[in-house]
Amino acid sequence: MSANQYQQALERIDALHAEDPRAVAVDGVELPKELWHARRMSAWLERIQETPDELTRLAVRAQHLQRWKIPRTEYPQGRRGYLAWRREQGRRAGETTAAVMEESGYRPEDASRVATMVRKEGLGRDDAVQAVEDCACLVFLENYFADFLHKVEHDHMVRIVRKTWRKMSARARELAMTIPLTQEAQRIVADALELDSGQTES
């Protein structure tokens, strides 16, 4: 592995992110949504791990790669449809990332390793995969949580937060508590953590 390989792969991944037709406004400037999301993922990684290796950096950066190409609406409603959609997203993003890495000079085994991380295989057993999950959870809480409050009823939202919290490492939970939240969001988190604590003790 070399700095040149890493930089080339990162630039190619970001170029694919930049193809996202959706846009978000950041400080008055419009960015492709997926590129903005990837940058937030990378920013959280720097706070989760002091010295993340380059394979973890690439996996975190590519976790949502070309997600817009497979709309959620192409899959059935409900949890089963959601899980099928998410698996396909992970498979496709992992394959595309691996191909980009090999084109940039990485060994096939390194590319395969990153694809595994993007698919989040080994969650709970693999620290690098956990870092990918932690970043995804933190980006959700920081940027998407508030919007969900207006679409999902209270008890369902509490369950979502509780499941998110359970997937996070201790370090990610610590960082999550530093995210500014509205009063309504704070109540949801408090209810989720209280419920989780009660079930753990019972």
pLDDT digits (tens, 9 = 90+) for 15-28: 999 999 999 998 88
**Residues 110 and 144 placed together within one structural domain of the fold:** no
**Residues 108 and 162 placed together within one structural domain of the fold:** no
Query: What span, in angstroms and rounded, lies between the C-alpha atoms of 40 and 178?
Result: 15
Q: What is the pLDDT of residue 5?
A: 95
Which band of pLDDT confidence, cut at 50, 70 and 90, is reported for residue 201?
very low
Long-range contacts of 148-157 (CB under 8 A, 24+ apart): 149/182, 149/184, 149/185, 149/188, 154/188, 154/191, 157/188
Q: What is the pLDDT of residue 153?
A: 87
pTM: 0.90
**Residues 72 and 161 placed together within one structural domain of the fold:** no
The chain-wide mean pLDDT, for the chain, equals 91
Q: How many domains does the chain have?
A: 2
Instruction: Give residue 150's domain range.
Output: 127-202
**Residues 80 and 135 placed together within one structural domain of the fold:** no
